[in-house]
Amino acid sequence: MNRSATDSPSPGWRWREHMPLVNTLRLPARSGAALILDRLDADVFDQPAVTDWLAEPTTRVLGGGSNVVFVQPFVERSAHLAADAWWLETQTADRVDLVAEGGMGLDRLVRETSGRGWYGLEALAEIPGTVAAAPMQNVGAYGVELGDRVRWVDAWDRRERRLRRLDRNDCDFGYRRSRFKDEAGRWLILRVGLTLATRPPADWPPVDYPGLSAALEAWQAATGRPPVAMTPLAYADMITRVRLAKLPDWRGGLPGSAGSFFHNPVVSPSRAETLARHWPEMPQYPVSDGIKIPAGWLIERCGLRGWREGGVGVSARHALVLLHYGGASGEGFVGFAREVRDRVFEAFGIALVVEPECLGEECGPIFPQSK
């Protein structure tokens, strides 16, 4: 379906021509025609102009651009959520059930909920992107994954043209993946139902990750309070300081980044044992399906930390982060990422998997591509 000039927007949706596409890598990109959903009511999805646009396979569903590499600078058709409300459904002495619309920023939701003294999302502070994008990737940090807090997801099934509610088990959450990511192009996530706690967990505050113990000590020195007195909002602020010490600010300016660019690889115990004989200092973390090795350590061990070619480089603060300093094309950025990946493979025999989605024919087989 091609959008006609006679299509008249309703209060629930609108069109925009030649729309710049915001992305945290700051790569040039725009959409020829964009559908923007201001409301997510059922009557909006009764409109043929909306459902036909979403059913077209070439329509790209895009959010805050924090997990996408625009190798192709022009997207002919796109769809975006502007609806960004959240509300409380139920509350008991121990838990709260809430709903957040997909257009809301994830970091904003973290601040809103932790500021009310609710536990569960505070470790996800400073992660860019929208609520709708977060279940796709099952975003996580410091031992917490969004899927751990999800009750259900409301989504528009672009293939079957109907609204569906998927319970948490139906979402098939895994490490940085979900059913929505595996079935890329099928789903437009509209709302997410979450459950948070009103009381701290038994291990509060969790600090068993690099940088957190020192950050907690600094908080104690500044406040004179014991760790158990830390509020969810104070923990979110602590996470923010730790992340900003490693990552550029995703809210604007250069250099741009897509956060952690590669997944931490998981290898078999026997493979990990072989690697340890060659590199006894290699960090290894047992997980349910094998041994996880930090991708940043692999990149740094190859001597690539701080390496730069033109407008693209590896961060000097965190080797897992690739930076766009400005002036690079999407194709040039992808070529640089391939070089990093190839050098790690040559050194360790480990093929790193790219975390962001890549839009464009030049992406190549090592990049997850939009379908």
The DSSP H or E segment spanning 295 is helix 295-301
Residue from 126, 145, 355, 357 carrying the catalytic annotation: 355
Strands (E), the chain: 13-20, 30-37, 59-61, 68-70, 74-81, 86-91, 95-101, 140-141, 144-145, 150-157, 162-167, 187-197, 256-260, 266-267, 285-287, 290-292, 308-309, 312-314, 321-324, 357-359
Block residue for tokens 């990946």: 341
Q: Which amino acid is at 251?
A: R
Tell me the CB-side half-sphere exposure of residue 28, using CA atoms within 13 A.
9
Please tell me the distance from the alpha carbon of residue 37 to that of residue 306, in angstroms, as a whole number: 41
Annotation marks residue 76 as catalytic? no
Please tell me the distance from the alpha carbon of residue 340 to that of residue 334, in angstroms, as a whole number: 10
- Token duo for residue 297: 């350590």
Q: Examine residue 210 and say whether the peptide bond preceding it is cis (omega within 30 degrees of 0).
A: no
Annotation marks residue 31 as catalytic? no
**Backbone Cα Rg of the chain:** 21
Residue from 78, 260, 315, 370 carrying the catalytic annotation: 260
Residue 4 DSSP code:
P
Residue from 26, 60, 176, 179 carrying the catalytic annotation: 176
Check if the beta carbon of residue 264 is closer than 8 Å to that of residue 293: yes
Annotation marks residue 176 as catalytic? yes
Report how far apart the first and last C-alpha atoms of the chain are (Å, whole number).
18
- Token duo for residue 63: 């959010």
Please tell me the distance from the alpha carbon of residue 327 to that of residue 309, in angstroms, as a whole number: 12
User: Catalytic residues, which ones?
Assistant: 176, 260, 355
